[in-house]
């Protein structure tokens, strides 16, 4: 009898025993937190979340409540990667505004407690949906979930980042140029094979930058499986994984989110399952054009994004992110059991990026 391949939902949901590479001294952590978090009760049990391959993420179970701990991975790291202190600062600024993020408790920069910097936040109970087609939902539920996801991102992009204390959180201008430079460096530091399309993109993208809109807080990795939904309602309770958050071009952030509509089938574990070839009408999921219209209406924008350029840029960025994971597998610091298979996804992403670059005017 053939066994079915596990779905993304089964592969990434829930917790597991803490892996050997990410073990922490539970007693030391328990003592540290008991002194600093009001109402923290012992004993403490530590579990590791299956998803979230960049920064190891743990569930802290105590007799009266659960918390979540995010840490830098141990070992050799790329400069500026895994900035859990930036994540903590972002959610600390957003939480008082009522924007859906977990309540932050503390940031620990003392490496002697668990070996690396970490922060602790509330454990938000709800659903994480790992498949873009949302199997098992009704048409009405799917539309409502996508609508809530759209509304939440529009709300983030409309926040006054200076007013909420993030005025110095990132350089507001030239976001796309800086992102291209950042992921070029990460790609080159982690490179394991020569990919012609990546090298062509490294030359072409910075020479053809689009005009930038008014800067805003950008999440950097906004997608369906980076949010916790209410257990039964189409309501976003918490947006998670703020590692790539900064101040930047909201259109770059929004178009990265649109990758789900453009990702070639059979893609990669790096994003929610593709919506390409889906029957949107039958599923009750907005088409990309409908989804763009919803966002533009909410943010009052009139200029539609140049999707060919932004798709080339975002597929390039995704290839750079994945190559970084491949490099960490090579160096023994990647946190996900699925990270090794990402190696085979980098080239197809680069080819997809170059396909869109040619549509945006790059030479054949």
In the predicted structure, residue 1 carries a pLDDT above the cut 70: no
Q: Is the pLDDT confidence value at 320 over 50? A: yes
Domains plus CATH for the chain? Answer: 8-122 (3.30.200.20), 139-359 (3.90.1200.10)
Taking the C-alpha atoms of residue 319 and residue 270, their distance in angstroms, rounded to an integer, is 10
pLDDT of residue 96: 98
CB neighbours of 313 closer than 8 A, spacing ≥ 6? 176, 179, 180, 205, 252, 255, 353
Provide the mean pLDDT of the chain.
90
Work out the end-to-end distance of the chain between its first and last CA atoms, rounded to an integer number of angstroms. Answer: 48
108 bridge partner residues = 118
19-33, 63-77, 293-307: lowest mean pLDDT where? 63-77
* Largest Cα span, the chain: 63
Stretch 254-275: mean pLDDT: 77
Among the residue ranges 12-21, 26-35, 116-125, 183-192, the one predicted with the least confidence is 12-21
Task: Give me the pLDDT at residue 345, please.
Answer: 86
Q: What is the CA radius of gyration of the chain?
A: 20
How much is the pLDDT for 5? 53
Q: Give the pLDDT score at 75.
A: 74
316 φ/ψ angles, rounded to the nearest 5 degrees: -60, -45
Give residue-wise pLDDT tens across range 213-262.
Answer: 899 999 999 999 999 999 999 999 999 999 889 999 999 999 999 999 99
Confidence band, pLDDT 50/70/90 cuts, at residue 271: low
Q: Are 212 and 197 in contact (CB under 8 A)?
A: no
What is the rounded average pLDDT of the residues 319-323? 90
Q: Answer with the residue of higher pLDDT: 19 or 157.
A: 157
pLDDT of amino acid 77: 61
Phi and psi at residue 185, to the nearest 5°: -60, -45
Q: What gap in Å lies between CA 191 and CA 61, rounded to an integer?
A: 39
What's the average model confidence in pLDDT over 154-183?
Answer: 95
Q: What is the mean pLDDT of residues 317-335?
A: 78
Per-residue pLDDT reduced to its tens digit, 176-218: 999 999 999 999 998 888 999 999 999 999 999 999 889 999 9
Q: Point out which residues pair with 228 in neighbouring strands.
A: 238
46 or 172: whose pLDDT is higher? 46
Question: C-alpha distances in angstroms, 136 versus 13, 124, 285?
Answer: 16, 23, 13
Asked whether residue 340 carries a pLDDT value surpassing 80, the answer given is no
Task: List the one residue out of 332, 272, 234 whose CA is nearest residue 51.
Answer: 272
Task: Check: CB of residue 95 under 8 Å from CB of residue 233.
Answer: no
Mean pLDDT of 151-167: 98
Please, are residues 236 and 152 in contact by the beta-carbon 8 Å criterion? yes
Q: What is the pLDDT of residue 180?
A: 97
Point out the least confidently predicted range of 78-82, 148-152, 167-171, 343-347.
78-82
Q: Are 74 and 114 in contact (CB under 8 A)?
A: no
Q: Which of 96-110, 259-273, 299-313 has the lowest mean pLDDT?
A: 259-273
CB burial readout 315-326, b (16+ within 10 A) else e? bbbbbbbbbbbb
Cα–Cα distance measured from residue 272 to residue 326, given in angstroms and rounded to the nearest whole number = 19
Classify residue 136 as left (phi > 0), alpha (psi -120 to 50) or beta.
Answer: left
The structure's pTM equals 0.88
For residue 274, what pLDDT is reported? 87
Q: What is the pLDDT of residue 364?
A: 78
């Amino acid at each position: 009898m053939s066994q079915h391949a596990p779905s993304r939902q089964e592969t990434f949901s829930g917790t597991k025993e803490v892996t050997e590479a990410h073990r922490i001294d539970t007693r030391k952590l328990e003592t540290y937190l008991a002194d600093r978090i009001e109402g923290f009760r012992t004993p403490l049990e530590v579990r590791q979340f299956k998803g979230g391959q960049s920064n190891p993420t743990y569930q802290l179970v105590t007799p009266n409540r659960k918390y979540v701990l995010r840490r830098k991975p141990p070992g050799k790291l790329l400069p500026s990667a895994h900035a859990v202190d930036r994540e903590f600062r972002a959610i600390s600024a957003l939480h008082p505004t009522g924007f859906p993020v977990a309540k932050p408790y503390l940031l620990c920069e003392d490496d002697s407690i668990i070996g690396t910097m970490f922060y602790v936040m509330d454990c938000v109970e709800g659903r994480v949906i790992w498949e873009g087609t949302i199997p098992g939902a009704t048409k009405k539920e799917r539309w409502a979930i996508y609508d809530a996801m759209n509304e939440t991102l529009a709300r983030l992009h409309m926040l006054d980042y200076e007013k909420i204390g993030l005025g110095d959180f990132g350089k507001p201008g030239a976001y796309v140029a800086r992102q291209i430079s950042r992921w070029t460096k990460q790609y080159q530091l982690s490179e394991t094979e020569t990919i012609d399309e990546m090298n062509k993109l490294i030359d072409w993208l910075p020479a053809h930058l689009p005009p930038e809109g008014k800067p805003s807080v950008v999440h950097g990795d906004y997608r369906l499986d980076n949010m916790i939904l209410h257990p039964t309602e189409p309501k976003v309770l918490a947006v998670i994984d703020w590692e790539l958050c900064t101040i930047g071009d909201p259109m770059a952030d929004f178009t990265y989110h649109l990758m789900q509509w453009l990702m070639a089938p059979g893609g990669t574990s790096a994003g929610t399952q593709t919506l390409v070839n889906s029957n949107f009408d039958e599923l009750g999921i907005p088409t990309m054009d409908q989804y763009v219209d919803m966002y533009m209406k909410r943010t009052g924008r009139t200029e539609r994004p140049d999707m060919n350029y932004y798709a080339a840029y975002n597929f390039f960025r995704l290839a750079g992110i994945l190559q970084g994971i491949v490099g960490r597998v090579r160096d023994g610091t990647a946190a996900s059991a699925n990270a090794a298979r990402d190696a085979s996804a980098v080239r197809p992403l680069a080819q997809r990026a170059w396909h869109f670059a040619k549509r945006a005017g790059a030479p054949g």
